[in-house]
Amino acid sequence: MSENNQGRRGRPVNEALGQTIIDAAFELFVELGFQATTMDKVAQRAKISKLSIYRHFENKEALFSAAMSARCQQFAPQSLVEGVDGSAEDQLMAIGSSLLRTLLSPEVRGVEAMVMADKTNQQSLSRLHYEAGPAHVIALFEALLRQLHAKAVLNVPEPLQSARLFAALLKGSDLLLIARFDEARAEAEIESYCRSVVAMFIAAHAGNDHAGG
């Protein structure tokens, strides 16, 4: 995130105002896209001056990164892996179903569609979006896999790669599920799909006979 911790004259920024700016910017980025969203429009939506935005964010790219990071962490906070207990299957099911619901949420899908539609800035926006959201979630899951490996619950010698593969299995869920042509059916299928993913993942990481890690 590129939000300044202090104002340009060294004064602490107003955190509540910063959140207001982020919320307004996120709405506009999804509605209008990156190109059409301007600092003037964000100021108008947030009902503040443009100068107030620049006291918090250096430029539009920094504001985009902050907006994506804040919203991604709202959907997939630290609690995604904290406080999850039970068997390895129970833990992976809790995380997998939560993550899949996040991936299927209208806001997350709206951001992805916005990034893909912007042919001019697609590469830079994709990088900013990945660093703000998916990379954060994968890092959290990687940490959990390291713990499971250290406890000899699963055999995960390459936790980062395994975390990416787990996320990829969820991201590549059934097209009908993603398209949500039938929302009731999609909701009912989330658990069964996640259970299949978890079973496959555990089968690929079983047989951990090392001690410690």
Whole-angstrom distance, CA of residue 212 vs CA of residue 4: 42
Confidence of residue 189 (pLDDT cuts 50, 70, 90): confident
35-85 per-position pLDDT tens digit: 999 999 999 999 999 999 999 999 999 999 899 888 777 665 555 556 566
Whether 5 has a pLDDT exceeding 70, the answer reads: no
12 forms beta bridges with: 6
Confidence of residue 136 (pLDDT cuts 50, 70, 90): confident
pTM of the model: 0.72
Question: Nearest Cα to 141, choosing from 173, 177, 186, 133?
Answer: 133
Which residues are within 8 A (CB) of 43 and not within 5 positions of it... i.e. 6 or more apart?
49, 50, 52, 53
**How far is CA 45 from each of CA 30, 41, 72, 213, rounded to the nearest angstrom?**
13, 6, 21, 51
> Which one is predicted more confidently, 133 or 62?
62
Q: How many CA atoms lie within 13 A of 158 on its CB side?
A: 6
Whole-angstrom distance, CA of residue 125 vs CA of residue 114: 9
Whether 28 has a pLDDT exceeding 70, the answer reads: yes
Whole-angstrom distance, CA of residue 113 vs CA of residue 126: 11
Phi, psi of 177 (to 5 degrees): -65, -45
Per cent of the chain over pLDDT 70 is 77
What amino acid occupies position 155?
Answer: N
- Tokens matching residue 154: 């699963």
Per cent of the chain over pLDDT 90 is 38
Question: Is there a contact between 154 and 88 (Cβ–Cβ < 8 Å)?
Answer: yes
- Tokens matching residue 87: 């068997």
- In sequence order, which ranges of the chain are alpha helices (DSSP H)? 15-32, 39-46, 50-56, 60-75, 88-104, 106-117, 122-132, 134-150, 159-171, 175-179, 183-204
165-182 per-position pLDDT tens digit: 999 888 876 555 555 556
What is the rounded radius of gyration, in angstroms, for the C-alpha atoms of the chain?
Answer: 20
Q: State the average pLDDT for the chain.
A: 81
